[in-house]
Homo-oligomer: A and B are copies of this chain.
Amino acid sequence: MTTTNKAKGVYAPVVTPFLKNLEPDTAELIRQCEWLLTQDVGLAIFGTNSEANSLSVREKIDLMDALVAAGIAPDRMLPGTGCCALSDTVELTRHAVRLGAIGVLMLPPFFYKGVSDDGIFASYAETIERVGDAGLRIYLYHIPQVSQVPISLAVIERLLKAYPTTIAGIKDSSGNWENTRALIEGFGPQGFDVFCGSERFLLATLRAGGVGSITATANVHPGPIAQLYRTWERPGADERQGVLDAVRSAFEQFPMIPALKATIAHHAQKRDWRIVRPPLTALDHENAQALSAALAKLEFSMPGL
């Protein structure tokens, strides 16, 4: 990847390993991040697939510090920092910026539903003003089917007008390609970088002018996804996209986070990788076997894990 001060390419919302007592397994997270980096995939730690909202702010700060202390390059990290409480979002964001993260991925506050565009705008604006760091780069995180709080095009337009440098882009996890395209066409020319939230849309996103994908399955299938990003303008890109889609489809038959963890557990031969924090539940044996079988048919592997 070229040196730049903006995030590009493929990022994994890194799944968070837990010990049997449900504490984060810091050493295993470091190993997983190191492996992802060898696959040319960046570290969107603390995303939805990281069970980020099942971790306290303190736990997230400690994990970020541990990753950096272990030698993980902070500019390969794009931590999720959007919480319900303004004070939490500010603390986590400030810490990420100080560590040198290339940006942060920021959910809107997600407890109250039906909030106004004014309220969403104010949430981001207050955060930006309080963090007060010219180096802050915010990627908005649009995942309405989970957060139940969409980020409208009108809010993005206002934010870009008020904070053109800080508002760096978006992860669109809506699964609605028309929305992704509207974001790229409407705001791309202003330097607003659009990531799709599933590699299913990677080729379409890059062809339309987007910059990459932040995607669950990059946790388990990083190499081929990153390869399509690097080679999308070369012959055979549609076929390579087809291979990615087949693997994605296999995972989508199961609850995503438990399925990702079961797959890592299987390929790393580390049973504890299956552990999730409540309210999630681990994939049961029968479903784990079915997923393994489906992946085996696709000659799926996790080289170097």
Contact = CB atoms under 8 A, between A and B. Distances in A.
Interface of A: 22, 48, 53-59, 84-88, 91, 108-113, 115-116, 118-120, 122-123, 126, 145-149, 277-281
Given A113-B148, A146-B113, A148-B113, A122 B281 contact: yes
B126 A53 contact: no
Contact of A146 (B91, B111, B280): B111
Given A113-B148, A146-B111, A148-B148, A123 B278 contact: yes
A206 to B, nearest CB: 30
Contacts of A126: 22, 278
Contact of A54 (B53, B86, B277, B280): B86
A278 B116 CA distance: 10
A111 B51 CA distance: 9
A123 B112 CA distance: 21
B56 A91 contact: yes
A280 B84 CA distance: 11
B112 A110 contact: no
B123 A53 contact: no
Contacts of A112: 53, 146, 279-280
Nearest to A119: B279
A111 B86 CA distance: 16
Given A84-B84, A126-B22, A148-B148, A109 B57 contact: no
Contacts of A118: 281
A280 B280 CA distance: 29
B111 A53 contact: yes
A85 B54 contact: yes
Contact of A280 (B56, B115, B281): B115
Given A122-B281, A279-B119, A281-B116, A85 B111 contact: no
Contacts of A116: 279, 281
A87 B55 contact: yes
Contacts of A277: 85-86
Nearest to A130: B22
